[in-house]
Amino acid sequence: MQRSAGLISSLSKMFARIGMGCTGPIVLVAKDDLEQAKNQLVEADYIS
């Protein structure tokens, strides 16, 4: 969970919620923040 906390703190200029889906963790963000959120997830090595 420490890694998730670091990600959320790096998303401090946007609203994001985290949760657990059927196949793993999920991050919910507003449409306006989608590209910024994707970039943060790539930088944190969550997605490629």
Check pLDDT > 70 for residue 3: no
Instruction: Specify whether the CB–CB gap between 13 and 34 falls below 8 A.
Output: no
**Average pLDDT over the chain, rounded to whole?**
78
Average pLDDT for 12-34: 85
Which structural domain range is residue 23 located in? 2-43
3-state class (DSSP) for residue 21: strand
Q: What is the pLDDT of residue 41?
A: 84
Residue 48 lies in a domain: no
Residue 38 lies in a domain: yes
Residue 33 lies in a domain: yes
Tokens coding 33? 């923040």
Check pLDDT > 70 for residue 4: no
Domain count, the chain: 1
Task: From residue 31, give the alpha-carbon distance in Å to each of 1, 5, 22, 35.
Answer: 25, 21, 22, 8
Residue 31 lies in a domain: yes
